[in-house]
Amino acid sequence: MTPVRLTLLLLPFLLLRAAPLAADPVRPAADPVAFARVTAASTDPAFRALRDHERAGLMAALRRVVGEGPLTDERLNAARQDAPLADQAWLAATGYDFKAATAEAQEAGIALLAPFRALPRETLDANLHRVEAINVAASPAEREQALYDAYGINHLFFLAEALGPRLGEAFLRAYEKGGIGKAAALIKASAISTGPAKRAFDYRRPFEVAGNRIQLVPDSIFVATGAPYKAAGGSFPSGHTNAGISDALLLAAMLPERYAALVARGAGYGYSRLVLGVHYPLDLIGARMIVERTLSRFLADPAYQVLFATARDQLRAALEQECGVALVVCARPAGPQSDPWAAPAAATFHAYTLTYGLARLESTDRPLPAPLAAAVLLAPLRPDLPVADLAEILRSTALPAGFPLGAAEAEGVAWQRLDLHRAAALLTH
């Protein structure tokens, strides 16, 4: 693409940034948290039917694995995708070395998040106060949704609502039949555990801090004893958020027609950890950074690309068959009530989750070096664009420098600054 054409592509974004109300992309004009509250309590018939199908599907899948005995935290957290949902035999037969990729990603993730150790007390205090505010103000519907997200970590049901009512129902039908088994297996295998990072940083969870205001959420749905939902181990970074965003981004790469909505849903999955009071905002931000870095490596690996293409093609064929029409038609937004994750309010919400309103540690206009390594994350949206052009779009839509965890550059890219939702919107509008 010529410089002139790239400038024309970027012009709407440049004009938006020049407007007074958009001068600070991390201070949205609308209340971003209201989106999560309204979406959780939605009474729209199409959206509720889709979400009810998600929840019923998850419970059936968990019961199939756990059996008819009492549901416990240990048994639920150990329940993985079984047949027919995921084609683990296919994935194993590919011989892809996930073990080596995991070790590299985990070590790199710890190095990437090293700035956490140097954060000032004021930032850490604000980190606690923000989760307290979200947790205390959460509605009953938000808390219920957060519990479904918590126990849905090992399955893909939660992603359906980001696809809209028509494609979302097709996704659930295909998933439950085993029609997207390759994609399901690959997506979950690509979510790298944050266990080593949690042990390395060894940071207490919000509800463990002396004098905290966290209100733990009683679980009357899964364990069904009314005991408060808790989480064990270190808090930083968030393992659930890591899995949720990884799942969402990989499905977005396979279904670019719903890219931005899926990116927003991944952010919403992380937000649910604040609702439950078991993580801080920086835990979620750190997890997102690790995911973006990890998936950029996977998607640039020729051997992984072969697996990805096979899984993507099976997924798209199965969804088109279930829809009965072309995917581009089936994926069209259905309006803000029935399809909230594709609505403008979701963009405001996503922008908030990039920083959660935490203050910048330095006021600087330091430019983001062209994030060439991250360009592969955008490539499914515009495979015709050169890597350099995609990197320029990421650079132009990125957050300012100086936010916690993003103050230092890593491998030429401050992953904390990337805004995939904003970049996707620029490419598709």
Tokens of 383: 């495979």
Q: What is the pLDDT of residues 63-112, one digit of tens each?
A: 998 887 778 888 888 888 999 999 999 999 999 999 999 999 999 999 99
How does residue 4 score in pLDDT terms, banded at 50, 70 and 90?
A: very low
How confident is the model over 347-366, as pLDDT tens digits?
A: 999 999 999 999 999 888 88
pLDDT greater than 70 at residue 203: yes
Decide which of 81 and 6 is more confident: 81
CATH code, domain with 307: 1.20.144.10
Q: Give how far Cα 409 sits from Cα of 55, 117, 119, 359, 413, Å.
A: 41, 15, 15, 18, 6
pLDDT score recorded for residue 14: 43
Residue whose structure tokens are 């072309």: 326
Number of domains comprising the chain: 1
Mean pLDDT within 232-248 = 97
Q: At what angle do helices 140-151 and 32-40 cross, to 10 degrees?
A: 80
End-to-end CA distance of the chain: 18
What stretches of 178-281 adopt beta strand conformation (E)?
Answer: none
Look at residue 16 and tell me whether its pLDDT is greater than 80. no
**10 Å Cβ neighbour count for 224?**
10
Average pLDDT, the chain: 90
pLDDT digits (tens, 9 = 90+) for 154-178: 999 999 999 999 999 999 999 999 9
**Owning domain of residue 124:** 3-428
User: Residue 412: what pLDDT?
Assistant: 45
Q: What is the pLDDT of residues 401-423, one digit of tens each?
A: 899 997 655 544 679 999 999 99
pLDDT of the residue at 10: 53
Instruction: Answer yes or no: is pLDDT of 30 > 70.
Output: no
Stated pTM of the model: 0.93
Tell how far CA 381 is from the center of its chain: 17
Residue type, 45: P
CA distance 352 to 40: 17
Mean pLDDT of 98-127: 94
Three-state secondary-structure class, residue 191: coil
Could you tell me if 219 and 147 are in contact, meaning their C-beta atoms sit under 8 angstroms apart? yes
pLDDT for res 333: 96
Q: Enter the DSSP assignment of 69.
A: S
Provide the pLDDT for residue 1: 52
What's at 227, amino acid-wise?
Answer: A
- What's the pLDDT score for residue 210? 96
